[in-house]
Amino acid sequence: MLTCYEQAEDFEVTTSEAAGRWLHQLLTQLRHDYDTKVLLKEAAATFPAGEGSFEAFLQGPAWQLLREKGLLLI
């Protein structure tokens, strides 16, 4: 479970341990350099093996919540 803090409200993202670690690394990378751009295909290339397909993850509740909160990857 990842806890994200924002001005309006805090929220939690629940996912598997491996996907959570990957997601934490991805979000940390984006946070350190706001000018950093990460393409969806680049994110997919680093998605942990054994976690199912990246496309399925994109349709799952964790990713959908992040999209609702403003995460934008192209």
Encode pLDDT of 22-72 as tens digits.
Answer: 998 888 887 776 677 788 898 899 999 999 999 999 999 998 988 888 776
Q: Does 73 fall in a domain?
A: no
Q: Containing domain of residue 32, as a range?
A: 2-68
- Res 55: pLDDT: 93
Q: How many domains would you assign to the chain?
A: 1
- Res 3: pLDDT: 79
Q: Does 52 fall in a domain?
A: yes
Distance (Å, whole) CA 50 – CA 19: 10
Q: Does 36 fall in a domain?
A: yes
- Res 74: pLDDT: 47
Q: Does 18 fall in a domain?
A: yes
Q: Does 74 fall in a domain?
A: no
Please state the pTM of the whole predicted model: 0.76
CA-based radius of gyration for the chain: 12
Q: Taking residues 4-12, report their average pLDDT.
A: 79
